[in-house]
Chain A
Amino acid sequence: MSIQTRVDLALIAEMIAPDARVLDVGCGDGDLLELLTRTKNVDGRGIELSQEGVNASVTRGLSVIQGDADADLHDYPDNAFDYVILSQTIQATRNPREVLMQMQRIGRRVVVSLPNFGNWRVRLQLLWSGRMPRTSSLDYNWYDTPNIHLCTVKDFVMLCEDLGLHIDDAVSVIGNKAKRVGRPGSIDNLTAETAVLLMSRKK
Chain B
Amino acid sequence: MSERKELQSETGGALGADAETLRVNAVSAIAHFGPESPLTLDSGAKLSPFQIAYETYGHLNADKSNVVLICHALTLDQYAASRHPVTGKPGGWWATMVGPGLPIDTDRFFVICQNVLGSCMGTTGPKDIDPATGKAYGLTFPVITIADMVRAQAMLLDRLGIRDIFLVIGGSMGGMQTLQWASAYPDRVFAAIPIATTARHSAQNIAFHEVGRQAIMADPDWQNGTYLDTGTNPAKGLAVARMAAHITYLSEAALHRKFGRKLQNREKVTYGFDADFQIESYLRHQGMSFVDRFDANSYLYITRAMDYFDLAADYDGVLAHAFKNTKTRFCVVSFTSDWLFPTSDNRQIVHALNAAAANVSFVEIDTDKGHDAFLLDEPEMFATLRGFIDSAATRRGLNA
Contacts and interface: CB of A to CB of B under 8 A. Distances in A.
Given A51-B364, A75-B354, A76-B354, A63 B384 contact: no
Nearest to B355: A75
Given A55-B384, A66-B362, A66-B364, A61 B357 contact: no
Contact of B361 (A58, A75, A80): A58
A58 B387 contact: yes
B156 to A, nearest CB: 30
B354 A55 contact: no
B350 interface: yes
B18 interface: no
Interface in B303-361: 329, 331-332, 350-351, 354-357, 359-361
B391 interface: yes
A51 B365 CA distance: 8
B395 to A, nearest CB: 9
A67 B362 CA distance: 9
Contacts, number: 63
B359 A45 contact: yes
B362 A65 contact: yes
B265 interface: no
A64 B308 CA distance: 31
A62 interface: yes
A66 B359 CA distance: 14
A58 B357 CA distance: 18
A28 to B, nearest CB: 15
Contact of B380 (A45, A55, A63): A55
A172 B181 CA distance: 49
A23 to B, nearest CB: 10
Nearest to B394: A61
Contacts of A62: 361, 391
A59 interface: yes
A145 B364 CA distance: 26
Nearest to A75: B354
B329 A65 contact: no
| B interface bracket (residues with beta carbon within 8 Å of A) | 20 to 34
Contacts of A161: none
Instruction: Summarize A's interface: helix, strand, loop or mixed.
Output: mixed
A45 to B, nearest CB: 7
The contact size tier of chain A is 20 to 34
B363 interface: yes
A155 interface: no
Interface string B378-390: 0010011011101
A180 interface: no
A174 B327 CA distance: 42
A63 B361 contact: yes
Contacts of B380: 55
Contacts of A66: 362-364
Interface in A50-93: 51, 54-55, 57-67, 72, 75-77, 80
A67 B348 CA distance: 12
Given A51-B366, A65-B362, A75-B351, A59 B357 contact: no
A65 to B, nearest CB: 4
B335 to A, nearest CB: 12
A43 interface: yes
Contacts of A60: 387, 391
Interface in A134-177: none
B391 A54 contact: no
Contact of B354 (A43, A51, A59, A72): A72
A80 B357 contact: yes
Contacts of B361: 54, 57-58, 62-65
Nearest to B334: A66
Contacts of A80: 357
A72 B366 CA distance: 21
Contacts of A77: 355-357
Given A58-B331, A58-B384, A65-B350, A76 B357 contact: yes
Contacts of B383: 55, 59
Q: 10 nearest interchain CB pairs?
A: A61-B391, A59-B387, A65-B362, A75-B354, A80-B357, A58-B384, A58-B361, A75-B355, A63-B361, A61-B387
7 contacts: A51-B364, A51-B366, A58-B384, A61-B394, A65-B361, A72-B351, A76-B354
Given A58-B387, A61-B394, 9 more contacts: A55-B384, A58-B331, A58-B361, A61-B387, A61-B388, A63-B360, A66-B364, A72-B351, A76-B357
